[in-house]
């Protein structure tokens, strides 16, 4: 009986269209919606205060009450048009039984995948992923209830996962700063093992996103933060096929829930290719495309936005330059878009910890006080 009730809740949410949902449907709106990647995080003093109480980062992510609280914190300050679940892209490797550690000052460290036998062991863990990650789904439900209680009823709740290529980069390279060398080596040297690893992550990600939706997420985003490290001849196998397979798996279960892809830094040609292949057969597999600050937003507005919404792409470094610079650069993007439907204002990547709060306020106010 539990699942139909959750699905009924999700159906009710989607009947009340928010600014973000309308934009993802390419409907005209009075202004662009705005939210930020990593908007719940270390640039906020209230986040740092709560985070200090739980030294283990994964334990922090798996605390539904704390995850709910930090998700709501930026809404209280800035009244963003969307909240994004506070979690991490490495929850799936953790649920698949790999040792995941977050080392202060050095970031995540994972138990490496070293053999085909290691990949085979991951396959045995797939059925337990949704059970292991129940605290995340409980957090989603708490966040949605908290948003309603605090009158953020016009605010959209976003769930997310990491894309298979990006997550696998951590699983094979320990840290993708090595330019995904081991993962690329696997793709060339043992295509069958590579495909098996991608399949494990695709199936796990579908289950993970569907459970987030059933818990109350209204939109989901797939972060492929290391997509720009993929050689052209691997793009279809490493980025396109896994991303679109996840989209298809989510759309089968939840056809009306929008999906945003964020293949960070890939070429214009590959962005266009994703849109073309993702719309084959007349049904869009995804609804929005994140554009990083290294990509051409004007090109995306002309070539991508007629088909799916685009999201981006203010350089996070702009906010470090202060409120006046932030306001100026934010307005430049709004002027370039010129009120066309299907645009979501966001950064070109996640906000950085040293960002002044005043700069965030200047960006949000500029967007929210604009009109089409």
Active-site residue 43, yes or no? no
> Average pLDDT of 241-248?
98
Residue 14 has pLDDT above 60, yes or no: no
> Average pLDDT of 240-267?
98
Q: How confident is the model at residue 111 (pLDDT cuts 50, 70, 90)?
A: confident
**Domain, as residue range, for 314:** 2-368
Active-site residue 179, yes or no? no
Active-site residue 328, yes or no? no
Nearest of 313, 316, 230 to residue 273 by alpha carbon: 230
Q: How confident is the model at residue 16 (pLDDT cuts 50, 70, 90)?
A: low
The domain total for the chain is: 1
Residue 123 has pLDDT above 50, yes or no: yes
User: What global pTM score does this model have?
Assistant: 0.94
Per cent of the chain over pLDDT 70 is: 93
Per cent of the chain over pLDDT 90 is: 87
- Of 38, 62, 173, 208, the catalytic one is 38
> Average pLDDT of 122-149?
96
Nearest 10 degrees: CA dihedral of 345, 91, 163, 189? 150
To the nearest whole number, what is the mean pLDDT of the chain?
93
Q: How confident is the model at residue 177 (pLDDT cuts 50, 70, 90)?
A: low
Q: Which residue has the higher pLDDT, 363 or 101?
A: 363
Q: Which residues have a Cβ under 8 Å from the Cβ of 372 and sit 6 or more positions away? A: 28, 29, 30, 31, 339
> Average pLDDT of 230-254?
97
Return phi, psi of residue 83, to 5°: -105, 145
Q: What's the rounded Cα separation, in Å, for the pair 219 and 202?
A: 18
What are the residue ranges of helices labelled H in the chain? Answer: 2-15, 19-24, 45-51, 57-61, 64-78, 91-95, 116-125, 129-132, 134-149, 164-173, 181-189, 191-215, 235, 241-253, 268-278, 297-303, 316-320, 323-337, 357-368
Q: Which residues have a Cβ under 8 Å from the Cβ of 206 and sit 6 or more positions away? A: 245, 246, 249, 250
- Of 94, 170, 208, 224, the catalytic one is 170
Q: What's the rounded Cα separation, in Å, for the pair 250 and 348?
A: 25
Active-site residue 51, yes or no? yes
- Of 47, 62, 81, 88, the catalytic one is 88
CATH number assigned to the domain comprising residue 301: 3.20.20.210
Active-site residue 42, yes or no? yes
Question: What pLDDT is recorded for position 148?
Answer: 96
Q: Which residue has the higher pLDDT, 65 or 3?
A: 65
Return phi, psi of residue 290, to 5°: -75, 135
> Average pLDDT of 75-102?
95
Q: How confident is the model at residue 8 (pLDDT cuts 50, 70, 90)?
A: very low
């Amino acid at each position: 009986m539990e699942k139909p009730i959750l699905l009924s809740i999700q159906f009710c949410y989607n009947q009340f269209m928010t600014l973000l949902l309308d934009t993802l449907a390419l409907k005209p709106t009075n202004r662009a919606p705005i939210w930020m990647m990593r908007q719940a995080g270390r640039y906020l003093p209230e986040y740092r205060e709560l985070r200090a109480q739980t030294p283990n980062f994964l334990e922090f992510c798996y605390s539904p009450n704390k995850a709910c609280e930090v998700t709501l914190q930026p809404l209280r300050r800035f009244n963003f048009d969307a909240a994004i679940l506070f979690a991490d892209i490495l929850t799936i490797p953790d649920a698949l039984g790999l040792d995941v550690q977050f080392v202060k000052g050095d970031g995540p460290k994972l138990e490496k995948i070293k053999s085909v036998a290691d990949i085979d062991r991951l396959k045995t863990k797939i059925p337990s992923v949704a059970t292991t990650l129940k605290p995340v789904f409980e957090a989603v439900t708490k966040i949605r209830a908290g948003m309603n209680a605090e009158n953020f009823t016009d605010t959209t709740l976003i769930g997310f996962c990491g894309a298979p290529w990006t997550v696998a980069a951590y699983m094979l390279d320990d840290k993708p700063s090595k330019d995904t060398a081991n993962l690329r080596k696997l793709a060339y040297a043992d295509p069958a093992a590579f495909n098996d690893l991608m399949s494990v992550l695709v199936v796990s990600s579908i289950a993970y996103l569907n459970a987030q939706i059933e818990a109350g997420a209204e939109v989901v985003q797939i972060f492929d933060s290391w997509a720009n490290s993929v050689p052209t001849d691997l793009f279809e196998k490493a980025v396109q096929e896994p991303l679109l397979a996840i989209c298809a798996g989510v759309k089968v279960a939840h056809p009306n829930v929008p999906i945003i892809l964020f293949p960070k830094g890939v070429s214009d040609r590959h962005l266009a290719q994703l849109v073309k292949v993702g719309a084959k057969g007349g049904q869009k597999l995804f609804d929005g495309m994140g554009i990083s600050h290294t990509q051409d937003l004007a090109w995306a507005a002309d070539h991508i936005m007629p088909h799916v919404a685009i999201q981006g792409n203010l350089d996070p470094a702009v906010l470090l330059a202060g409120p006046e610079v932030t306001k100026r650069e934010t307005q430049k993007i709004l002027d370039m878009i010129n009120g066309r439907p299907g645009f979501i204002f966001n950064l070109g990547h996640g906000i950085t910890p040293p960002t002044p709060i005043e700069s965030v306020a200047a960006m949000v106010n500029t967007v929210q006080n604009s009109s089409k």
